[in-house]
Every structure is written in C-alpha cells, then in structure tokens.
Amino acid sequence: MQVLVGLEEELFLLNKMGFLSRFSEILLHRLVKDLSGDRDRLEKARKYLMGIQWEPNPSQIEYVTRPMGFSELEEAVKFSRKLIARAAIRTNQLIYVGSVHPVESNPLPLNGTHVNVSISSNGTPSNKLLAAIYMHIRNHLPEIIAVTANSPIMNGRIHGLGSARMMYSRVLKPSGPVIMRKRPVSFIPWRERSKTRYGVIFRKMKLFKSELVFDPTGDRLKEIAIRGPSTNIPEDIHTTKRSSRVEVRGVDNQATEEYLLDTALIIAGLAYEAAVLVGKGVKIRERKNLQRNRSRAIRHGIEAEFILDGGERVKARDSFLLMMDRIKEYIDSIGSMSSGLKEGVPEIIRIGMPEIVDQEKFSKLEEKNRVVTTIRLSGGRDGISLTGERFHVTGEVKGLLFPEYSLKFREENGIVRKFDRIEKRYWLLSKEGYIPLMESDDIIKAITPIGHMAKILEKLGES
Amino acid sequence: MSNIETFPELIKLHGLLSVIEDDLADGRAPDERILKRAIKRIRKIRKDENMSLLLTSSIPLSFLLEDEGSEAALKEMRKAIERTIIMSKFRGIRSKIGLNRPTRYVMTYPIEKAAKAFEFIEGIKPVVLTAPHSSPPLQDKKITAIAREIARISGAHLLLSKVSRIFVDYNRYSSRIYPARVFLERVILEKRIKGIIDLHSSNRLEYDVEIGCFSGQTIPRSVLKTLEECLKSNGVKYTKEGRFGGDIVWFHSILPDAWGVQVEISTNARENRVVKALINFVERL
C-alpha cells in the first residue's frame, strides 16, 4: 500500500518587533532572486515543493509540498520553513509559524495547515476508498481538532485551549457525509463561475460517471474535503486521477516540526485504517454526535468532553488516546512519532501560554469601543507631545483611549515559534499629546465615537 | 438592519446637520425638533454594525477630542458623514486603506519613538507634500530627494517618514493614531491647507506617473486638470487609471476644504521632468 502525504502551511510575516509585516511580494521577489543563483537549493525546492502561494492578506504566505512518502516529509517541512525564513531575514522580516497573531488577528488574518493524504495500491485511489478515507477521518475530526488547537491568544486576550481559527474562519465550514451519485452531466452554480466558465458540463465517453459529493454545490472550502476529478468541485474537474486525495484543513498550525509531522502522521494512520476497513468490507458511517463533539473540540480543545455513541461522556484526551491505541499499528507502518501527541499532550500545553500584562479596566472599555473618555489621573505625570517633548499633566483629562502593545518572543534563524509575553499599556490621546494611564486612574466618562456624535447634538440643544 | 436600510438615514442626517450648521452660522439657536431628529438618526445608524464601522472609521480624531457642545465639531461630524456616504458607495475603498472589522486604533510601535519618527518642514504654500515611505528599509526609492526638492522650490510644507513602513505604514488606516498622522491632521486644520500631495515611487509602473484620487472622489476636476496640464507640458507620461490612493489621501482630504492626490512616480521616469511638473503644479495653485 502506498501512502502519500502532502502539506500546505500558511505562515505569517512579522517585523522585528513581532507585528505583522505586509510584504509577502517583496519576500517572494527576494526568494526567486536567491534561488536563481543557487542551483542546489533550487533543485531541492523543486524536489520538495509544488510552489509558494499568495494569501489574500499580504502578511501571509503559504508553501505547498509535493505529495511524498512520510520519510521525506520532515526534510521537506524543515527545508520549506527555512527557505521562506531565509528570504524573510533578507527583507528585514521574520516568519511566525502560529495560526493566530496574538494582537493583530482580529479575528483575521488566520493561518492553518492542510494535510493531504492519498492511499492506493496502484497510485490511483478508487472512489470507494476515497469515500471511506474521507468518512473515517471526518469521524475523528473532533479528536484531531482537540489535540491540534493552537491559537490561545487573540486580539491581546486569552482565548483558551480551543481553536480560535476554527471558530472565526470564514472558509472552514463543516463538511457533510459523502455520497456517490451517478449523473451524465454536472451543474456548476453561478457563484462558482470564476473557477470555471461552464454552467453545465457534459461528461465524455461514459454515459454515467460516478461522482463523489460531500457538498451539493462543490464547495471545497470545508474542514475536510475530497479532491480530484471524481468530485463535483469545479476547480478539480480537469485534474488527473492521480491527484485524488483527502484534504484535511481543520488543523491549526503547529509551531514545532515534531508536532506538525506527528499530526500529518496521525491523519495518514487514520487513512490507512480506513483502507484496511474497506478491505474487510466494513461500511463507514457517520458517528453519532459528530457535529456536537466537533463544536466542543473547537470551543474547548483538549479540555473538551465528548459524547460517545451510547451517550456516555469521555474526555477529549482519553478519546484521542483510545483512537491512537487503535491506529498505532498503521502509524508504525508509515513512520514514527516524536512529539507529545504520543501521550495526547497538545503543543499548546507543551510549550505553554504567553504571559499577558494588561490594564483590565481600560481593556474592557476598549472592547466595548467606549474609547472617547474622560479620566481623573491618580497623580501628576509626564505626557509626550506629538513632536516628542514632555509635558506635565494632572487632574482630569479627556481624549481617545488606545492600547500600545509590546511583544517578547524568541527567534531562531528567522523563525518565531512562540510569543512569551504580551504587554498592553493604555494611553490617552489628548489635545496636548499622549498621556500614559495607570490602573489607579478613575474613569469619569466613556462613550463610543458615534455616541459622542449624539452627545454633541444633545449639548447643542441644552445650550 | 443592513447598509441598504440605513443609507437613507445617513443622507437625511447629513441634511439635518447642514440645517443646524446654517442656524448656528446665522446666530440662531438650532431647532429642537431638528436636533432630536438628528439624534434619532444617529441612534438608528448605530444599530447597523456595518454602517457604524464605516462611520467610526470616517470620524476625524480632532472631532473626538472636541468638547461636547462645540460648534466646530458639527462641521467635522458632517465631514465624517460625507466620507461615510462615499465609502458606502465605493466598497473597494475599505481594502485600499486597510480597514478591518472591528475598527480599532492600536499602537504597535513605542509612542516615545513614534513621536520622533517623522520630519516636518514648514512651507509657505497651503499645500502639504507627504512621503510616508521615505525611510529604509523597503523605502520608495529616490522619493526623499524628490519630495525635498519640490518642497524647497515650490514652498510647500513637507512631511517625511522617519520610520520604515515595515514598522509603521503611515498610509494605512491603522496608523491614524500615530503622532505623524495626528500632526498632519492638525497642520491641515491650523495652516488651512488646501491640498495634500502624497508622493510614492515604484519600479513597476508602465507610465512615468500614476495619479490616485479614488476615482475623482478626493480632488476637484479643475485641480486635477491643472495637474494633468503640468505633467503634459513637461513631457511626463501619466495615467489616472489603476492607482486608487491610500489612507493619507482618503482620510485627510475633504472637499471642498482640502483635496488630496496620490502621485506614484516611476523610478525609470526622468526625475527632473517629474519634479519640474510637480513644482509647476504647486506654484499654479
């Protein structure tokens, strides 16, 4: 049995202070220039990578590996991350391998990892096998999501052990069970016209072509999808049979290569188990409570509690370990695990949460957009004018409330894996300049900018 | 409530504010019923999340610092509504200025450093030149020298960035809270600036100059015509297509008080011709 795995990983570009840097175009320009003069690296890039893709946000970039045996994947991932990090350093940037920027993802931009897996004995998986792999992995999405959830801080606040990315992403919709349908023609909805101009496609040669359908409109932007010409996905209509695979998109980025590779290995192990089940003639049906467990995994991550088919409750970690016991033999036949996932310890637990230093009182106001504020300062202090001079201020001040962030992180050869400390300090922009705020200051009044408009009119009436 | 439903409310609010402004200009107390109707419309708009986002993003910072009951604030408020009306019509503006949801101002560069991260050279003409990408690395090539030359000869005010756009991009929505942008807003108000010319350069242009004015939303036709004449007479090839402009032009220009135009200069263009054309333009204003 041949098992091929391919990875797509989206990365953030950062400036040297740890904030998003919007220069993916300059980075790729540099990368092409570097590769043109380095034959060895170029050959390696061609061996491991399909290419590097744009993302809608210019502070993101995505590398896509070729499908390969698991033994090659480690080298491919390390090479790809290094390749992009090298170009990032040369353009005064860094890469961050996280799913969510702790301050600037609000909730977008978001990163994710897509694991593509294909199993066959002759290089081309049958439709029946693809459907079984899809259904089997889909049945275990709650366990996969729970152990890979890795987006603990968003917008400067703790989000928890759940997956912020899965919660807020607009392109990770839940997938449906797959059905096999036979029809001589395909209908492409109008909204998919940018992918292919055909509205109706007449299949050639065969009167009836079997089609794998997991979404009636052929939308591939799901947490798990079947890809290839056997589906009703408009973009895949002209692809080859050999490209048929199952794509798992509901995986948060893993900071370390060990966790990333082990995640891919677990998904490959599940695919292998599905192939074995197909061989035994087992029909894979949707698990009971799948959607409820999926939602729980997204919300609580490893701390989720799943509902079993019989209604009993089980901790996400225990459910994951049960699954691991079952698929261990398949995993061992593909590769070996090296991260804490072996023991059901997610990366977020292993590397820990960043420390957050916040001024809660002001943070709450900002969250409600009540940023037009009057504050009574607890003591005299120096402010900074627009041109950098100091001025002394005391008593009541009026202005616009906003946070100033500073980030602490470790960087290794241009790669940032984790933020250690996120410090949020509030300031008031007044007519005189910027005034630092302290927790001991009193909030006299706080309204939203639009509320300020209404107040101005009310006061005009009174006067 | 959706944008479609609240859009008429916005138009009506604009009309009501004009009436209140006229009353105050004539020395009359504003009609209480009109004030109440205006407040009611503001509250309706506040319920529409999308429209609130656009309106909040259009409010000048100086307005938020004004005291309640201030008459000057009324004008600023009306300007914000005008800007929101245009934004409702042209959805592409949001992506061009980097406006995210929800709108919030966040400082990602230390304030102490940010206050020293720009240079302002005072001029004598009611025009301000800005070069938000003038500091390395990833600076717009040659733009500092070009901007300085135009300002020196024409007498325009000049604001140069002293921080790389990797850290702060002054031409994005998120930078409005930074000292350079607040300072620019003050200069425009206090020095009664009539026009903002936002200078950039690129090595990937088909023409010598690309003009960005949000499809004519930020500059009067007559001023644009003058700019075109100056470019033509100096043999500079230009286009008005393609470039939209950025947040400096969008946020700091409000017609009829102040117009704004982004001028993107090709690094392959003959520099002296472009400089001469822009000097002529400033001098003719």
- Joined together, the tokens standing for residue A434 give 């910027």
Q: What residues in B contact A405, CB-CB < 8 Å?
A: 106-108
pLDDT in tens, A130-180: 999 999 999 999 999 999 999 999 888 888 899 988 888 877 888 899 988
Q: List the strands of the sheet with B195-202, edge to edge.
A: B118-121, B157-161, B127-131, B195-202, B259-266, B209-212, B238-239
Residues A11 and A62 sit within 8 Å (Cβ to Cβ): yes
Of A387, A450, A451, the CB nearest to B115: A387
DSSP labels, chain B? --HHHHHHHHHHHHHHHHHHHHHHHTTPPPPHHHHHHHHHHHHHHHH-HHHHHHHHHHS-HHHHHSPTT-HHHHHHHHHHHHHHHHHHH-THHHHHHT--SS----B-S-HHHHTTSEEEE--SSSEEEEETT-SSSSPPTTHHHHHHHHHHHH--EEEEE-S-TTT--TTSGGGTTSHHHHHHHHHHHHTT--EEEEEEEES--SSSEEEESTTTTTS-HHHHHHHHHHHHHTT--EESSS----HHHHHH-BTTTBEEEEEEEETTS-HHHHHHHHHHHHHH-
Distance from CA of B15 to the nearest CA of A (A): 14
Tell me the β-bridge partners of A61: A11, A54
Q: Look at residue B118 and tell me if it is in a domain.
A: yes
Mean predicted confidence (pLDDT) in A11-28: 96
Query: What is the predicted ipTM?
Result: 0.93
Cross-chain Cβ contact A454/B20 below 8 Å: no
A3 sits in which H/E element: strand A2-14
For residues A10-20, average pLDDT: 97
Mutation site, B108, B120, B122, B138, interface A, largest A CB count within 10 A: B108
Residues B244 and B149 in one domain: yes
At A207 the pLDDT is: 47
Distance CA A286, CA A262 (A): 25
Supply B197's token pair: 């010319």
Same domain as B132, residue B32 = no
Cβ separation A456–B69 shorter than 8 A: yes
Q: Do A385 and B115 touch (CB under 8 A)?
A: yes
Distance from C-alpha of A214 to C-alpha of A232, rounded to nearest angstrom? 9
A203 or A116, which is more confident? A116
Q: Is B94 within a domain? A: no
Which letter does DSSP use for residue A235 in this model? Answer: G
Give pLDDT < 70 ranges for chain B: 1-4, 68-71, 91-92, 96, 98, 100-103, 242-243
Q: How confident is the model at residue A183 (pLDDT cuts 50, 70, 90)?
A: low
Shortest CA distance from B183: residue in chain A: A386
Tell me if A434 and B111 make a contact (CB, 8 A cut-off).
Answer: yes
**Is B111–A92 a contact, with Cβ atoms under 8 angstroms apart?**
no
Which residues in chain A touch residue B73, judged by CB atoms under 8 angstroms apart?
456
Write down the residue that tokens 């003050």 correspond to. B186
DSSP bridge partners of A314: A306
Backbone phi, then psi, for A400, in 5-degree steps?
Answer: -105, 125
Distance CA A199, CA A35 (A): 41
Mutate to test the interface with A, among B65, B81, B121 (most CBs of A within 10 A): B65
Residue of chain A whose Cα is closest to the Cα of B70: A456
Exposure class string for B241-257: b at 16+ Cβ within 10 A, else e: eebbbbbbbbbbbbeee
Q: Would you call B69 and A463 a contact, using CB atoms and an 8 Å cutoff?
A: yes
Q: Does residue B81 sit in the same domain as residue B116?
A: no
CA gap A462, A451 in Å, rounded: 17
Q: Which of residues 63-82 of B touch A (CB under 8 A)?
A: 63-71, 73-74, 77, 80
- The candidate with the shortest Cα–Cα distance to B282, out of B157, B186, B161, is B157
Q: pLDDT, tens digit, for every residue of B219-254? A: 999 999 999 999 999 999 999 876 678 999 999 998
Q: Do A388 and B77 lie within an 8 Å CB cutoff?
A: no
Pairs of residues, one from chain A and one from chain B, whose beta carbons lie less than 8 Å apart:
145
Take residue B30 and report the two structure tokens written for it.
């504003």
**Chain A residues near residue B40 by CB distance under 8 angstroms:** none
The CATH number given to whatever domain includes residue B118 is: 3.40.630.40
Q: Which of B43, B59, B110 sits opposite A454 (nearest CB)?
A: B43
Nearest Cβ partner of B39 from A26, A400, A457? A457
Task: Please indicate, yes or no, whether residues B85 and B118 belong to a single structural domain of this protein.
Answer: no
- CB contacts, 8 Å: B43 with chain A: 454
Q: How confident is the model at residue A247 (pLDDT cuts 50, 70, 90)?
A: very high
Q: What is the percentage of chain A residues whose pLDDT exceeds 90?
A: 76
B27-62 in b/e form (b: 16+ CB < 10 A) is eeebeeebbebbbebbebbbebeebbbbbbbbbbbb
Is the CB of residue A33 less than 8 Å from the CB of residue A142? no
| Residue B138 to residue A26, Cβ atoms within 8 A | yes
* Residue B211 counted as domain residue: yes
Helix axes A141-148, A127-139, angle to 10 degrees: 50
CB contact under 8 Å between B73 and A462, yes or no, is no
Q: Does B2 touch chain A (CB under 8 A)?
A: no
pLDDT at A47: 97
Judgement on whether residues B82 and B184 belong to the same structural domain of the protein: no
Which pair of tokens denotes residue A305?
A: 């509690």
**Residues on chain B touching A399 (C-beta within 8 angstroms):** 64-65
Per the prediction, chain A carries an average pLDDT of: 92
Point out the domain boundary residue: B89, B120, B139: B89
Within chain B, what is the greatest distance between any pair of CA atoms?
A: 61
Q: List chain A residues with CB under 8 Å of B109.
A: 17
pLDDT of residue B70: 67
Query: What does the pLDDT average to over A283-299?
Result: 95
Q: Which of A22, A429, A453 sits opposite B177 (nearest CB)?
A: A429
Alpha carbons A285 and A280: distance in angstroms, whole number: 15
Please state which of the four CATH numbers 1.10.540.10, 3.30.590.20, 1.10.10.10, 3.40.440.10 is assigned to the domain occupying A98-351: 3.30.590.20
CB contact (8 A) between residue A92 and residue B59:
no
Residues of A within 8 A of B104 (CB-CB) are: 106, 366, 369, 402
Structural domain boundaries, residue B245: 111-284
Domains contained in chain B, number: 2
C-beta atoms of A103 and B108 within 8 A: yes
Chain B residue nearest residue A385, CA to CA: B115
What is the identity of the amino acid at A150?
Answer: N
Q: For residues B261 and B249, is the Cβ–Cβ distance under 8 A?
A: yes
Q: Quick check: is B15 in a domain?
A: yes
- The answer to whether A84 and A27 have CB atoms below 8 angstroms apart is yes
Cα(A324)–Cα(A317) distance, integer angstroms? 10
Domain final residue, candidates B89, B122, B138: B89
With H, G, I as helix, E, B as strand and everything else as coil, classify residue A419: strand
Using the beta-carbon criterion (under 8 Å), do B116 and A388 form an inter-chain contact?
Answer: yes
Q: Across the interface, which of B59, B71, B137 has its CB nearest the CB of A449? A: B59
Same domain, B81 and B166: no
* B67 in the same domain as B140: no
Q: Does B145 touch chain A (CB under 8 A)?
A: no
Strands A390-393 and A381-384, by their bridges, are antiparallel
Q: Are residues B186 and B117 in the same domain?
A: yes
Nearest CA in chain B to A462: B69
Q: Is A315 left (phi over 0), alpha (psi -120 to 50) or beta?
A: beta
- B30, B56, B89 - which closes a domain: B89
**Using the beta-carbon criterion (under 8 Å), do A104 and B108 form an inter-chain contact?**
yes
Q: Is residue B105 part of a domain?
A: no
Q: Is residue B106 part of a domain?
A: no
How many angstroms separate the CA atoms of B223 and A454, rounded?
A: 36
* B239 shares a domain with B116: yes
User: Domain for residue B58, yes or no?
Assistant: yes
Q: Do A456 and B74 touch (CB under 8 A)?
A: yes
CB B201 within 8 A of CB B143: yes
Where residue A205 falls among pLDDT bands split at 50, 70, 90? very low
B79 and B118 belong to one structural domain: no
What is the distance in angstroms between the Cα of A109 and the nearest Cα belonging to chain B?
10
| Mean pLDDT for the stretch of residues A423-435 | 96
Residues B182 and B239 in one domain: yes
Q: What average pLDDT does the segment A241-257 reach?
A: 94
In chain A, what are the helix, strand and coil shares in percent, each to the nearest 5? 35, 30, 35
How far is it, in rounded angstroms, from Cα A125 to Cα A131?
Answer: 10
Q: Where are the domains of chain A?
A: 98-351, 355-462
pTM given for the model:
0.91
Residue B51, chain A, CB below 8 Å: the answer is: no
Residue B153 lies in a domain: yes
Q: Do A427 and B107 touch (CB under 8 A)?
A: yes
B44 plus B150 within the same structural domain: no
**A456/B77 Cβ within 8 A:** yes
* pLDDT tens, position by position, A55-103: 989 999 999 999 999 999 999 999 999 999 999 999 999 999 999 999 9
How long, in residues, is chain A?
463
B33 vs A287: CA distance, rounded Å: 63
B131 touches chain A (CB under 8 A): no
- Written as one letter, the residue type at A115 is V
Q: Which residues in chain B touch residue A450, judged by CB atoms under 8 angstroms apart? A: 42, 45-46, 52, 55-56
Contact predicate A100/A169, CB 8 Å: no
Kind and range of the H or E element at A186? strand A185-187
pLDDT at A142: 97
Residues 6+ apart with CB under 8 A from B26: none
pLDDT of residue A78: 97
Q: What is the pLDDT of residues A211-220, one digit of tens each?
A: 888 888 888 8
